[in-house]
Amino acid sequence: MGPLSDIRVVELGQLIAGPFCAQLFGDLGANVIKIEPPKTGDPMRQWGAGDPPVWWEVIARNKRSVAADLRTPEGQEIARRLIATADVLIENFRPGTLEKWNLAPADLCAANPRLIVVRVSGYGQTGPYSTRAGFGGIGEAMGGWRALVGTADRPPSRLGVSIGDSLAGTYGCLGALAALHEREKSGRGQVVDVSLFESVLQVMEGLVPEYAAAGHVRVRSGSILKGIAPSNVYPCSDGELLIAGNQDAIFRRLATAMGQPELGEDPRFATHVARGQNQALLDEMIANWTRGQTVAAVEKLMEEYAVPAGRMFAARDMLADPHFAAREAIVSVETKHHGTLPMQGVFPRLSRTPGGVRAAAPVTVGADTDALLGEVGYDAAALADLKQRGIV
């Protein structure tokens, strides 16, 4: 099931960026083999809420688990045999780690010339910072994201999710798909070098050229983007609603919905530039109007007048919302520890060969070790020996 059902992926990563990259592959149908340290497994098994934590159920879905101690020659041989059968290898260790483990990509590609190696790291495989340790938050800071989150009178904030890691995992998957396409012509694999900081930098819009060309420095601006108005979260009598009327025709419709159509022709608000110059005043006027009404009432008006608006959704709202249900944006997965567990579905959607959640996350570390190592030449006696010595 899925467009990548003929692709075999070996994941050596841990925590978020590498495993998220492999999750995307698995969601789209790839056969994903995750190699974990014996006994302890990926630290993600212990992250998040729940007993045991449920985040693992998302990031490890559609994967099979093999236990192997990559710090030992025997564990390295296990990895080499599995990688020899793979189309894609994903790793997110500090640069030099694979080489230290006798798993240098050059050697792996010599044995498997069609292999594509996705290497995710904090700073990339080259450059003066390449050997530094780097987590997603550091990539967010260096890439420019953190400096813009929050309000100007307080230190930078962070988004409530690990966006730097997820962006890097997404770009890793994108790069691997491009390399798979190129392989159809050349017959050869290659290395995909993904850094956390560059993955964040890629989504920073005009941050760098605006400074270079005009000396413009973006700053933290709280719930607004400076000069983009109206686009803010406005208070209602029973909650809050985000309204985005920052386009001339849309703003005129918003003004009419507010019962103040004259605002659409007011020189202070009639154009994009004028609204940006009078952003604070305009936000105050809209807030004064929304305060006297419920979220539902304002939302209904915005829908009637075709003004983009949205509630602040939490998990409970997503689970109850009919649009989430109609789109199957949240799917139910049968798990051993948590029963039927709702989680985000597979995106993007393909009309003819959609992906899906085919299997729950592996419950135990190395749940598929015997079966998968049997496929690459290990007999029962060899497996028993490796287990006795704690290598698998």
What type of residue is 70?
L
pLDDT in tens, 179-233: 999 999 999 999 999 999 999 999 999 999 999 999 999 999 999 999 999 999 9
pLDDT in tens, 328-339: 999 999 999 999
Contact 81, 377 (CB under 8 A): yes
Sort strands 330-335 and 339-344 into parallel, antiparallel or unpaired: antiparallel
**319: Cα separation from own chain's centroid:** 21
Mean predicted confidence (pLDDT) in 121-138: 95
Mean predicted confidence (pLDDT) in 116-144: 96
pLDDT in tens, 6-58: 999 999 989 999 999 999 999 999 999 999 999 999 999 999 999 999 999 99
pLDDT given for residue 307 in this prediction? 98
User: Among candidates 306, 285, 289, which has minimal Cα distance to 229?
Assistant: 285
Is residue 345 predicted with pLDDT exceeding 90? Answer: yes
Q: From residue 290, how far is each of 297, 307, 337 by CA, in Å?
A: 9, 14, 45
pLDDT in tens, 277-294: 999 999 999 999 999 999
Is residue 149 predicted with pLDDT exceeding 90? Answer: yes
DSSP state of 262: G
Q: Average pLDDT, whole number, for the chain?
A: 97
H or E element in which residue 35 lies: strand 31-36
Bridge partners for 88 per DSSP: 9, 116
Bridge partners for 35 per DSSP: 66
Q: Strand, coil or helix: what is 383?
A: helix
Contact 190, 118 (CB under 8 A): no
pTM of the model: 0.94
pLDDT in tens, 66-82: 999 999 999 999 999 99
pLDDT given for residue 13 in this prediction? 87
pLDDT given for residue 68 in this prediction? 98
Is residue 101 predicted with pLDDT exceeding 90? Answer: yes
The percentage of the chain sitting over the pLDDT mark of 70, rounded to a whole number, equals: 100
Q: Model confidence at 140, in pLDDT bands (50, 70, 90)?
A: very high
- Who contacts 390 (Cβ-Cβ below 8 Å, separation ≥6)? 38, 39, 69
Mean predicted confidence (pLDDT) in 332-351: 96
Is residue 132 predicted with pLDDT exceeding 90? Answer: yes
Q: For the chain, how many residues are written?
A: 392
H or E element in which residue 25 lies: helix 17-27
Cα-Cα-Cα-Cα dihedral sign, residues 122, 123, 126, 127: negative
Mean predicted confidence (pLDDT) in 331-360: 96
**245: Cα separation from own chain's centroid:** 28
Mean predicted confidence (pLDDT) in 352-381: 97
Contact 20, 169 (CB under 8 A): yes
pLDDT given for residue 331 in this prediction? 97
Q: How many CA atoms lie within 13 A of 257 on its CB side?
A: 25
pLDDT given for residue 108 in this prediction? 98
The three state secondary structure string of 128-167 is: CCCCCCCCHHHHHHHCCCHHHCCCCCCCCCCCCCCHHHHH
Q: From residue 283, how far is each of 24, 113, 245, 270, 294 by CA, in Å?
A: 40, 59, 11, 15, 18
Is residue 1 predicted with pLDDT exceeding 90? Answer: no
Given the structure tokens 């509630």, which residue do they identify? 311
Pairwise CA distance, residues 375 & 377, whole Å = 6
**Residues annotated as catalytic (active site), given as ranges:** 165
Dig out the tokens for 246 from the structure.
């920052």
Dig out the tokens for 122 from the structure.
């904090």
The percentage of the chain sitting over the pLDDT mark of 90, rounded to a whole number, equals: 99
pLDDT given for residue 275 in this prediction? 98
Q: Residue 326: exposed, middle, or buried by beta-carbon count in 10 A (0-12, 13-18, 19+)?
A: exposed
pLDDT in tens, 238-275: 999 999 999 999 999 999 999 999 999 999 999 999 99
